[in-house]
Amino acid sequence: MNPKSIAIVGAAETTRLGVIPDMSQIQLHADAALNAMADAGLKPADIDGIATAGETPVTVAHYLGLTPKWVDGTAVGGCSFMIHVRHAAAAIASGLCRTVLITHGESGRSGVGRTRNVVAPTSLAGQFEQPYGPMGPPTLFTIPVLRYMKTYGLSHEQLAMVSVVQREWAAKNPRATFKTPITVDDVLNSRMIAYPFRLLQCCLVTDGGGALIMVAAERGRDFPQKPVYILGTGESVETPMVSQMQDFTSSRAFRVAGPTAFAEAGITHQDVDHLMIYDAFAHLPIYGLEDLGFVPRGEGGAFIAERNTAPGPNLKLPLNTNGGGLSYMHSGMYGMYALQESVRQMRGTAPAQIPGAKISVCHGVGGMFAASGTIIMSNEPP
Amino acid sequence: MSEARRARPQPTPETQHFWDGTRAGELRLQRCNACGKVYFPPRPFCPACAAREVSVFAASGKGRLYSYVIHHRPVPGFTPPYAIAVVELDEGPRLMTNIIGCPQTPEALQLDMPVEVVFEKLDDEITLPLFRPVAR
């Protein structure tokens, strides 16, 4: 894909976010898709490509009344949607389809009509991780962190500051689930979930969805909204077992996806005005900052704790400006919401808008460091 | 602790040697005959060089505590708080396990402390490799 050859022309979340017990998972997909189509001024007949995760693309296409020529059901966890954006860009660029809809919907809190990921007892994770008592992401995603802390001297207070800073961004966002300011002490006194992680260092569990619509850039101005151009993309996977990741202080999938996207975009870190790093847990922005090359190894925690990413006079790199998975919302596969915030920032419509922002980097993780996708956007026309 | 209610692994043809090993009191790893790579989890080829000629051997059962969390919520078969740990074996590979024979606290669970395998029988077919601290 050539930089800025593809544009996002429709973007929307579900009408409501948070607790939505009156909608099933598939309807959350549809609610977001209908909002995105309205945003772009399109009808189902205008869509000829569909990508989704959680539900199959068959289910979503049928439910919405689509007749796609191109489908992508890549489902590698929460960054699936970044990877869908990448695949859709390539598909549109090569002429496989013209107008792609990407949907996400998840009844993470209410559990209505939810598809579940079951770890088969015959799988390698089922044989070599599950017998030792993990219970989902809070007990698995967090396992590498003590090794990181010992290697680089990251303190509990620095790790707590990730949650504190993101709550400051959330306070600016009317749709954020949690907006009340918190302190490092609040974080370190919150309920222990899986040492060293306490409740306020773990993501929310909410209901919601989001959808994107993508077309070739030459059609970008045919739609009601300011087009957002795709500048660079990257993706990778590492392992379905967190115990087997090569380096507990760094994600190999991050180190492939991020630099691939930067190389395609042809930009340097100094060019980045806005950054989203998928924060299912408080350590992820630290790993992301380092693996994407924004700060040297071992310095991510101090960079955040010293308020370089926080609202205020020290702000150098606005990070997770919607409040993130820690305070905004997290339905389970958060990547779609990170993408939505990058689009809002590029359109100039974010609640905590970064003045003059021209380039946004949106970096996602899937599974427990299992997968990664990076999307770099620009609001400057080609 | 009600061990019988833990998630129970179900061996496949490619992993059966490992579970036969733990039942016999051995922690079995695999080594590539071509490149010498020692690897885990089990598979009948080398993940480094793709050679199909690999050997199964009994590891020392010694290693060090590499990382962990201490889970504070209830899970079937476990009494919280309990540590879910990763041990790095002397032979190189890392594996998830539990650390027994010591308090489940950050003070008792020091990274890099030496540990050794202990075999915990779940039932007639499955014995799990757990680890305990050891003086070295």
Q: What is the mean pLDDT of chain A?
A: 97
Nearest CA in chain B to A198: B72
List of residues 6+ apart from B118 with CB closer than 8 A: B100, B101, B129, B130, B131, B132
**Could you tell me if B9 lies within 8 Å of chain A, comparing CB atoms?**
yes
What six digits make up the tokens of B6? 């833990």
**A243/B94 CB distance under 8 A:** yes
Sequence-ordered strand ranges (E) for A217-319: 228-237, 274-277
**A133/B10 CB distance under 8 A:** no
Nearest CA in chain A to B73: A193
How far apart CA A43 and CA A55 sit, in angstroms, is 21
The answer to whether the bond into B41 is cis (omega within 30° of 0) is yes
How far apart CA A29 and CA A134 sit, in angstroms, is 30
Domain boundaries, chain A: 6-113+204-378
**A195/B72 CB distance under 8 A:** yes
- Between chain A and chain B, the number of residue pairs with CB atoms below 8 A apart is 112
Q: For A10-53, how does the pLDDT look when each residue is reduced to its tens digit (9 = 90+)?
A: 999 999 999 999 999 999 999 999 999 999 999 999 999 999 99
* Active site annotation includes A328: yes
Using CB atoms, pick whichever of A122, A147, A196 lies closest to residue B66: A147
Nearest to A282 by CA among A152, A179, A185, A138: A138
Q: Is A268 exposed, middle or buried (0-12, 13-18, 19+ CB in 10 A)?
A: exposed
Q: For A101-135, how does the pLDDT look when each residue is reduced to its tens digit (9 = 90+)?
A: 999 999 999 999 998 888 999 999 999 999 999 99
How far apart CA A53 and CA A74 sit, in angstroms, is 6
Mean pLDDT, rounded, for A357-379: 98
Which candidate in A119, A122, A123, A127 is best for mutational testing of the B interface (most B CBs within 10 A)? A127
pLDDT over 90 (residue B5):
no
| Residues of chain A neighbouring B27 (CB-CB closer than 8 A) | none
DSSP letter assigned to residue B106 = T
DSSP letter assigned to residue A157 = H
Give me the pLDDT at residue A35, please. Answer: 98
Nearest CA in chain A to B8: A131
- Set A229, A328, A334, A337: catalytic member: A328
Q: What is chain B's percent helix, strand, coil content, to nearest 5?
A: 10, 40, 55
* Active site annotation includes A278: yes
A-proximal residues of B, 87-116, CB under 8 Å: 94-98, 106, 111-112
What six digits make up the tokens of A139? 């007990």
Give me the pLDDT at residue B116, please. Answer: 98
- Cα pseudo-dihedral A315, A319, A322, A328, rounded to 10: -120
Nearest to A144 by CA among A187, A76, A197: A197
How far apart CA A93 and CA A2 sit, in angstroms, is 8
List of residues 6+ apart from A160 with CB closer than 8 A: A184, A187, A188, A200, A201, A282
Q: Hey, what long-range contacts does B83-87 have (CB within 8 A, 24 or more apart)? A: B83/B109, B84/A132, B84/A133, B84/A134, B84/A139, B84/A140, B84/A143, B84/A194, B85/A132, B85/B109, B85/B131, B86/A143, B86/A243, B86/A248, B87/B63, B87/B115, B87/B131
Give me the pLDDT at residue B136, please. Answer: 62
How far apart CA A273 and CA A291 sit, in angstroms, is 18
**B84/A139 CB distance under 8 A:** yes
Q: What is the mean pLDDT of chain B?
A: 95
Give me the pLDDT at residue B28, please. Answer: 98
Give me the pLDDT at residue B2, please. Answer: 44
Give me the pLDDT at residue A104, please. Answer: 98
**B85/A122 CB distance under 8 A:** no
CB A48 within 8 A of CB A99: yes
pLDDT over 60 (residue A219):
yes
Mean pLDDT, rounded, for A264-279: 98
Nearest CA in chain B to A135: B75
| Residues of chain A neighbouring B68 (CB-CB closer than 8 A) | 143, 146
Give me the pLDDT at residue A117, please. Answer: 80
Which candidate in A124, A128, A132, A242 is best for mutational testing of the B interface (most B CBs within 10 A)? A132
How confident is residue A1, by pLDDT bands cut at 50, 70 and 90? confident
Beta bridge mates, B56:
B30
Using CB atoms, pick whichever of B71, B75, B95 lies closest to residue A128: B95
pLDDT over 90 (residue A295):
yes
**A139/B69 CB distance under 8 A:** yes
| Secondary structure string (H, E, C) spanning A169-181 | HHCCCCCCCCCCC
pLDDT over 70 (residue B3):
no
Class of domain A6-113+204-378 (CATH, top level)? alpha beta
| Residues of chain A neighbouring B96 (CB-CB closer than 8 A) | 128-129, 132, 134, 143, 241, 243
Edge to edge, the sheet with strand A49-52 lists A70-72, A49-52, A100-107, A207-216, A6-13, A228-237, A371-378, A359-366, A274-277
**B84/A134 CB distance under 8 A:** yes
Nearest to A6 by CA among A81, A103, A88, A84: A88
Nearest to A303 by CA among A292, A289, A291, A293: A289
How confident is residue B1, by pLDDT bands cut at 50, 70 and 90? very low
What six digits make up the tokens of A37? 């189509």
Give me the pLDDT at residue A277, please. Answer: 98
How confident is residue B31, by pLDDT bands cut at 50, 70 and 90? very high
- Set A229, A278, A287, A334: catalytic member: A278
Which candidate in B67, B79, B107, B125 is best for mutational testing of the A interface (most A CBs within 10 A)? B67
Kindly provide the b/e burial profile for residues A37-74, where b requires at least 16 CB atoms within 10 angstroms of the residue's own CB: bebbebeeeebbbbbbbbbebebbbeebebebebbbbb
Give me the pLDDT at residue B4, please. Answer: 47
DSSP assignment string, A63-124? HHT---SEEE----STTHHHHHHHHHHHHHHTTS-S-EEEEEEEETTT-TT-------TTSH
